[in-house]
Amino acid sequence: MSKELLKMIADEDVAYVDIRFTDPRGKLQHVTVMADQVDEDFLEEGFMFDGSSIEGWKSIEASDMKLMPDTESAYIDPFYAEKTVCLHCSVVEPDTGEAYDRDPRGTAQKAEEYLKSTGVGDVAYMGPEAEFFLFDNVRFSTTMNKVSYEVDAVDASWNTDAEFEMGNMGHRPGIKGGYFPVNPTDESQDLRSEMLSTMKRLGMKVDKHHHEVASCQHELGLVFDSLTKQADELQKYKYVIHNVAHAYGKSATFMPKPIAGDNGTGMHVNMSIWKDGKPVFAGDKYADLSQEALYFIGGILKHAKALNAFTNPGTNSYKRLIPGFEAPVLRAYSARNRSGCVRIPWTESPKAKRVEARFPDPSANPYLCFAALLMAGLDGIMSKIDPGEAMDKNLYDLPAEELAGIPTVCGSLREAMEELKADMGFLLKGDVFTEDQIEGYIDLKMEEIERYEHTPHPVEFAMYYSC
């Protein structure tokens, strides 16, 4: 692919090459290189950089690292004034050329190799459904004497009586009323269409868009792909959404719970395994699943609390995962309702048979999230973990005593980190994750937890200031 990429750079008069990688928290990072500096040697030997500047990676005395471009990931950036080719990179040790064990993309690649080594399958497909919010104005402060935030949008449900210079047309979705009326109630049709069109021009496989349940909440459809490639695509998905929104004078966020009293943002992840061109999950068991698919579900349910560390990696994630509401917090599975944390979507085609994890959210690092979900499911298959009976009744309406018998996912990021410490063995198989990587990740997240726990919250002033 190197020759094809270099030809494309020359033929399209590309000025720059943007080499991109993902840090442990899931944020896309980049370095831009003049195109005339990029040749076959550059693509084969990689680009040196200072790893100590990335939180959760190397210390200053051992900071040299190397970015290895994936030439098959190339795309023209649609937002730069100068024509720029972007390449996703994996991170390697410069002295040995081996994958750096804290590189999220490298972890995803190792998970795919581990799948092949088990004999269970040769490809894992991931289909994320990442929701997001769009606001017109965002303000927040976290100083020692002031903690506050405010978000606003013209089409927000709370603005029914707001006075705007251009007038108030009154058409907007109510609380939990955004799924999914046409315009003018849904005023973001053109914006979402441009997001989807931009993705298609980048070569991404996309299929739909719509307003979501909450006020100011939206979703675009990404068609499934293999694990690492889909994680790359999800990074591009976020990048396009952020930048198209910015061009429209709006601000996009994948924060799970930016507003109170309305639905939070999730990222349902559809998963399937194939072997020799055939779907492993299709069979004659419950909901036309195979025994392997049921064991896969068993692994997801067993390890759900440890998975939360990667699938729900922020303190804000647990503002969404609260029992008694619509969030999928119960460790149960069903083909009939969406209230459990695992669902089997209905389909007539065996090729479309899949398992949907409903508890992840889009603040997750996609490489680590997808890899961890696959490792949990594979542990279920290899260890023959029985998921128990499906829960086809409405879990929201269960009597309290029956509901108490169903285990839940974690209730806080601190709990998720404790569960990850106690249940990391399934992630270490095949050296996909390493203890050093997980310990470094926990350290990074504990910094966030301590900052959150040490900071007074505005609601505490409302509840306790006059006590």
> Annotated binding residue at 201?
no
CB 354 within 8 A of CB 271: yes
> Annotated binding residue at 365?
no
To the query of whether residue 25 is one of the catalytic residues in this protein, the response is no
Could you tell me the two tokens for 272? 């399937």
Rounded to an integer, what distance in angstroms lies between the CA atom of residue 251 and that of residue 135?
5
Q: Catalytic: which of 131, 186, 292, 379? A: 131
Could you tell me the two tokens for 26? 């899931």
To the query of whether residue 50 is one of the catalytic residues in this protein, the response is yes
> Annotated binding residue at 270?
no
> Annotated binding residue at 268?
yes
Rounded to an integer, what distance in angstroms lies between the CA atom of residue 372 and that of residue 357?
12
To the query of whether residue 268 is one of the catalytic residues in this protein, the response is yes
> Annotated binding residue at 58?
no
Q: Catalytic: which of 219, 225, 361, 419? A: 219
To the query of whether residue 212 is one of the catalytic residues in this protein, the response is yes
CB 195 within 8 A of CB 209: yes
> Annotated binding residue at 336?
no
Q: Catalytic: which of 212, 225, 233, 361? A: 212
To the query of whether residue 338 is one of the catalytic residues in this protein, the response is yes
To the query of whether residue 129 is one of the catalytic residues in this protein, the response is yes
> Annotated binding residue at 320?
yes
Q: Catalytic: which of 25, 88, 303, 358? A: 358
To the query of whether residue 131 is one of the catalytic residues in this protein, the response is yes
> Annotated binding residue at 326?
yes
Q: Catalytic: which of 4, 36, 40, 50? A: 50
> Annotated binding residue at 263?
yes
> Annotated binding residue at 207?
yes
> Annotated binding residue at 233?
no
Q: Catalytic: which of 23, 103, 129, 186? A: 129
Q: Catalytic: which of 338, 386, 415, 439? A: 338
Rounded to an integer, what distance in angstroms lies between the CA atom of residue 84 and that of residue 43?
16
Q: Catalytic: which of 262, 356, 361, 419? A: 356
Which residue, 263, 262, 388, is CA-closest to 330? 388
- Written in H, E and C, the secondary structure of the chain is CHHHHHHHHHHCCCCEEEEEEECCCCCEEEEEEEHHHCCHHHHHHCEEEEHHHCCCCCCHHHCEEEEEECHHHCEECCCCCCCEEEEEEEEECCCCCCECCCCHHHHHHHHHHHHHHHCCCCEEEEEEEEEEEEECEEEEEEECCEEEEEEECCCCHHHCCCCCCCCCCCCCCCCCCCCCCCCCCCCCHHHHHHHHHHHHHCCCCEEEEEECCCCCEEEEEECCEEHHHHHHHHHHHHHHHHHHHHHCCCEEECCCCCCCCCCCCCEEEEEEEEECCEECCECCCHHHECHHHHHHHHHHHHCHHHHHHHHCCCCCHHHHCCCCCCCCCEEEEECCCCCEEEECCCCCCHHHCCEEECCCCCCCCHHHHHHHHHHHHHHHHHHCCCCCCCCCCCHHHCCHHHHCCCCECCCCHHHHHHHHHHCCHHHHHHHCCCHHHHHHHHHHHHHHHHHHHHCCCHHHHHHHCCC
> Annotated binding residue at 103?
no
Give the annotated binding-site residues for Mg(2+): 129, 131, 212, 219, 268, 356
User: Binding site: what residues are annotated?
Assistant: 129, 131, 207, 212, 219, 263-264, 268, 320, 326, 338, 351, 356, 358
Q: Which residues are annotated as a binding site for L-glutamate?
A: 263-264, 320, 326, 338, 358
Return binding residues for ATP.
Answer: 207, 338, 351
Q: Which residues are catalytic?
A: 50, 129, 131, 212, 219, 268, 338, 356, 358
